[in-house]
Amino acid sequence: MGHFIVSVVMITYKHEDFINEAIDGVLNQNFNLGAIELLIADDCSPDRTEEIVRQYPKLKDNITIEYIKHSTNKGIIDNFFGTLKQAKGKYIAICEGDDYWTDSLKLQKQIDFLETNANVVIASHNVQIIGEEFNKRISRPYHDNKFSGFYGTQDLVNGFKLPTNSIVFRNGLYDFDKVPNWSMKIRSADKFLYLMISKFGSIYYDESIMAAYRKHPEGAVGSYDKWDLKKHIETHKNQIFFWKNFKKDFHPLYQKEIKSNISNEALQIVRRYSRKGFFLKPLLKYSVISLKNNREKWPEISSELNEVFKKYTSKKMYDCKIRFLIMGSKVKQRLIKLLG
């Protein structure tokens, strides 16, 4: 750790239209607890990002700006974890290059809270979502039904999402040199990070809006069309990959909840395929995954699958039943009954 109280990690790629607001949101912080380190990690952007960043002084009041320009594109996950390793502050805050902070006291409020609450390892808050989603302009709160209070790993596993640019957490709790190789293939590095850090203490969430979270086609999450079947399904598949590996390597206490998440993601894939036509093979595959991972909800899942498979001809159903009879297993036998 260095002399910095907080390191702000700002990864960026092709953010020439947004990077000014992101940097200004950090430079405008009123912070009296010590020095701030702003790490801007540019993943070989082909646009004017570097030119814009270099217009800022390397030192402004108590804020030091360090610009890191990769010579080749590492990808968002590698860039993210690689920059976290370089953070020297007692705390780490996150603000990607297409988002920005709107409250000049954001860091002061969050770090004051962390300094006086040793049991809290992550401080978060609400943000305003702006930009474009499903080809429409949007502006709405990230959360409209979550209230200020203490949360934990169980809440994250059950689906509570923390806005990325709201986060401040204690540095040094998790060894970023030990990030597993499979995490390089996930799309939700921030979720992995929060789950790992939350093992060491509580999360405090403030319902106040202190930042803007931007959705746009070039963003990490993107804003693809709601009818884009391939992208939606790839997202659900990646979530299944995430939870399967997370279940295997971490958190034995949350096996049931994690399996339920896998089941729900598989069921989402079934729903999307069923709306778009006769994709029988993947429908059957993900129906089995959904049933296998949530036996407690077999009646509800079975009822929905029964409606899905009504679309198919008796000849196709007969072929499927034969295939599953050969393969066996109680879950597949359950599916055979649904096929009629």
CB 288: neighbour CB atoms within 10 A?
18
pLDDT at 326: 42
First to last CA, the chain: 64
Lowest mean pLDDT among 53-62, 93-102, 210-219: 210-219
On the CB side of 77, how many CA atoms lie within 13 Å of its CA?
14
Using CA atoms, how far apart are residues 169 and 304, in angstroms rounded to an integer? 41
Lowest mean pLDDT among 49-58, 112-121, 137-146, 318-327: 318-327
Query: Mean per-residue pLDDT for 29-43?
Result: 97
pLDDT at 340 over 50: no
Segments of 154-248 assigned E as strands: 168-170, 202-215
Mean pLDDT for the chain overall: 88
pLDDT by residue (tens digit) across 221-266? 554 455 578 888 999 999 999 999 998 877 678 899 999 999 999 9
pLDDT by residue (tens digit) across 89-100? 999 999 999 999
pLDDT band at residue 134 under the 50/70/90 scheme: low
pLDDT at 252: 75
Name the token pair of 192.
């992995």
Using CA atoms, how far apart are residues 41 and 44, in angstroms rounded to an integer? 9
**4-215 CATH pick, 3.40.1440.10, 3.50.50.60, 3.90.550.10, 3.40.50.720:** 3.90.550.10
pLDDT at 320 over 90: no
pLDDT at 248: 82
Q: Tell me which of 336 and 144 has the higher pLDDT.
A: 144
Lowest mean pLDDT among 172-176, 309-313, 336-340: 336-340
> Domain limits of the chain?
4-215, 229-338
pLDDT at 334: 58
Query: Mean per-residue pLDDT for 165-183?
Result: 95
pLDDT at 335: 57
- The amino acid present at 104, given as its one-letter code, is S
Lowest mean pLDDT among 64-78, 95-109, 190-204, 306-320: 306-320
pLDDT at 220 over 80: no
